[in-house]
Structure 1
Amino acid sequence: MAIVNNHFAKAEMLIRKPVSEVFEAFINPEITRKFWFTKGSEKLEEGKSAEWTWEMYGFSLTVFTKIVETDKRIVIEWGNRGEETLVEWFFTPLNEKETFVSITNSNFKGDTDTILSEVRNATEGFTLVLAGAKAFLEHQLELNLVLDRFPKGVS
């Protein structure tokens, strides 16, 4: 899946775990909830939808899984109807114990200010997701980074 325009967010990080473990962490909601959302309805499977929930924000969304290439790539579509964006993960094994993860969120729509805001928010968000995944997978630490991104009382 190619990035459909130049309006995209990108976050990347090395995670010191085998590619199969890192890949599983992003398709299996029982693992993903340790560093991103609080509930996922099911594992990501090509051609199927799943619901992800962030209980602390009272927010859920449906994701549609377009592509799953085991241990290599995941592509989902998410967002409000007519405003969906694509999220694409690439998993590159550097050796048996290290995986480089690249996440790109693309296809933002709207005026320049809206696109810039969405790109900034997605870049911040996916950077926290990767940092949380790294802490959990490498050290079994749940850092609550997504929870703490928007603490109560701070606007």
Structure 2
Amino acid sequence: MSVVIETQMLIRKPVAEVFNAFIDPEITSKFWFTSSTGQLIENKSVDWYWEKYDVTTSVLVEQMINNELIQIIWGEPKTTVDFIFEKITEQETYLRIRNYDIPLEGSALIAFIIDHTAGFTTVSDGCKAYLEYGALLNLVDDKFPPFV
């Protein structure tokens, strides 16, 4: 069985701006991770940090198509994630996040699907709020305790 997790969101900003929000850690850190060792570049690895949770993950950029696709390999277990950017109008982008190549079965797979579906939904919601309204919702920080 080949499982694909997918979340999606219309973001009312030009496709280049939404694409850049995932490339540039100065922007991405406003709605997802706390910091990064650098910008996403094809065939390069970076580390992403979530300071509150004391979590770090390495991210390998497998493929990049400007303003269309960012494909990464990340996590434990390693999986593939596609960030797909579709221009709807000059001021609207449809963002889809697809997670697949998940090497799990049974209850571990179900737990992974639940966790990652919720996580990528939080990311797309935070991105929309930040890019459209400049709102820093702190969704990732506020998702799990402790709340200090």
User: Same fold, TM exceeding 0.5?
Assistant: yes
1:7 deviates by: 1.6
Does residue 132 of structure 1 match 2:132?
no
Are the equivalent residues in 2 in contact too, given 1:9–1:120 (CA < 8 A)? no
Does residue 8 of structure 1 match 2:12?
no
Superposition pairs of residues 1-155 of structure 1, within 5 angstroms? 6-80=2-76, 83-152=77-146
Q: Which runs of 4+ in 1 moved over 4 A?
A: none
Tell me the number of residue pairs that the alignment of Structure 1 and Structure 2 aligns.
Answer: 147
Quote the Cα distance in structure 1 between the aligned partners of 2:23 and 2:15.
13
TM-score, structure 1 length as denominator? 0.92
1:9 deviates by: 1.4
Quote the Cα distance in structure 1 between the aligned partners of 2:88 and 2:11.
10
Identity of aligned residues (%): 41
Q: Which amino acid aligns with 2:88?
A: L
- What RMSD, in angstroms, separates the aligned Cα atoms of the two structures? 1.1
TM-score, structure 2 length as denominator? 0.96
Quote the Cα distance in structure 2 between the aligned partners of 1:85 and 1:110.
10
Q: Which moved more, 1:23-32 or 1:107-116?
A: 107-116
Unaligned runs of 5+ in 2: none
